[in-house]
Amino acid sequence: MERPLTSAKLAEMLVDSRQRSLALLEDLTDEQLNVPLLSIVNPPIWEIGHVAWFQEKWVLRHLRGRPPVLDQADALWDSSAVSHDTRWNLPLPSRAGMLRYAQEVLDRVLEKLNAAEVTGEDAYFHWLAAMHEDMHGEAFTYTRQTLGYRAPMLPAGETPKVDPVAGDVEVPGGTFQLGATPGAGFVFDNEKWAHEVFVPPFAIARAPVTNAEFAEFAGDGAYRRPDLWSEEGRLWLQKSGAKNPLYWIPDAGGWQLRFYDRVLPLPPDQPVIHVNWYEAEAYCRWAKRRLPAEAEWEMAARGAGAGCLDSAHVGCVPVGAHAESDSAFGCRQMIGNVWEWTASDFQPYPGFVIDPYKEYSQPWFTPQYKVLRGGCWATRSRLIRPTWRNFYTKDRRDVFAGFRTCAP
């Protein structure tokens, strides 16, 4: 059984999650919040109402049996029932009204939390609400990049020391327990439970692929070479019209990068980011490498420390930074700089049992979703761990995703 968190720790998490959500929106004008209808974003005002509704649903209503704070809340913010494109045309409260609703929900949650003995079930649903809001906070962060808004005004740490991290590390393979272990804390249903797999010996890059390395690939005409792309990848190229990585701008034989609302020289030593699974697959074919299976990735990541987390740096840091993040095998920044695509489809582990939040994993167990691991600079530290499985469709380029490679 998971170890219950204290009421004070749960309250701290919930307040901190909300403060981050508000910090990512408060500097935006009402005009900026009126975003265009895009398949890869939500209206920010709808989204802040949704995270408050989710907290209300699972903590006040499901756990405590309380009536809805707003009678129409389910019709406005239940993401499983309210289709994406209709979210722009709902009769939502005003910005001030939305913030009042979100604050009222949080106040009621904290009042009940501080007045009751915390059981394991209590802790789970409060944890779930905080983790859900953290994930939407990361979505707010990349939505600002998608829309070309200025970079988030978040606390920044010191510039880290950078060391060389070229080459591969050898991982001896063997029998391995893939997944989360009961009793180690709350985890999502798709991480359950650790099960034995055999992993042959392999070699994996010490660091993610950098912008400089990916620029060699792009500069070799890769986006015009059908031989480097799978059939699905070629169809994506044709449909998308992509001629280079997202947000890269050709510049006198080199590249610039749109970073939020600024155009900067492409930072060569940072991990390539905003590339989709097809681009990662094509790069591997060009470099005569391959993507790691998620079992290989998790094995190589064991013992890894955190890299750039909790927005200690807004944006990625160079791949050689944060030596303290090295895994037991010597892989750097497997936790916390850039999400890393793997070769694996998002599928349930043996004996999968769905958690109460049924929409989190089960609807997405299809070959169109690939597993990503490791978190990124915008992922909160309380969310990320070596067993956490993120998942996106293979065509997504707006998220903070890159990759590292394995020897063939």
What is this structure's pTM? Answer: 0.96
pLDDT band of 167, cuts 50, 70, 90: very high
The whole-angstrom separation of Cα 40 and Cα 112 is 36
> Tokens 């309210």 sit at which residue?
82
**Per-residue b/e over 70-102, b at no fewer than 16 CB within 10 Å?**
beebeebbeeeebeeeebeebebbeeeebbebb
Sign of CA dihedral 235, 364, 25, 384: negative
The whole-angstrom separation of Cα 93 and Cα 82 is 16
Per-residue pLDDT of 20-71, as tens digits, reads 999 999 999 999 999 999 999 999 999 999 999 999 999 999 999 999 999 9
Q: Tokens at residue 100, please?
A: 């009042």
The whole-angstrom separation of Cα 88 and Cα 93 is 12
Asked whether the predicted pLDDT for residue 106 surpasses 60, the reply is yes
Mean pLDDT lowest among 110-114, 207-211, 266-270, 375-379:
110-114
Give pLDDT, residue 1: 39
The whole-angstrom separation of Cα 359 and Cα 128 is 13
User: Residues with Cβ < 8 Å from 147, sequence gap 6 or more?
Assistant: 32, 35, 41
Asked whether the predicted pLDDT for residue 166 surpasses 90, the reply is yes
What CATH number was assigned to the domain covering residues 168-212+228-402?
3.90.1580.10
Q: Tokens at residue 108, please?
A: 């009621």
Determine the average pLDDT of the residues in 236-246. 97
C-alpha 5: how far from chain center: 24
Q: With pLDDT > 70 as the criterion, what percentage of the chain qualifies? A: 98
* Cα radius of gyration (the chain): 21
Domain boundaries along the sequence of the chain: 7-146, 168-212+228-402
What CATH number was assigned to the domain covering residues 7-146?
1.20.120.450
User: Residues with Cβ < 8 Å from 227, sequence gap 6 or more?
Assistant: none
User: Residues with Cβ < 8 Å from 249, sequence gap 6 or more?
Assistant: 255, 256, 257, 258, 263
Asked whether the predicted pLDDT for residue 155 surpasses 80, the reply is no
Contact 24/137 with Cβ under 8 angstroms? yes
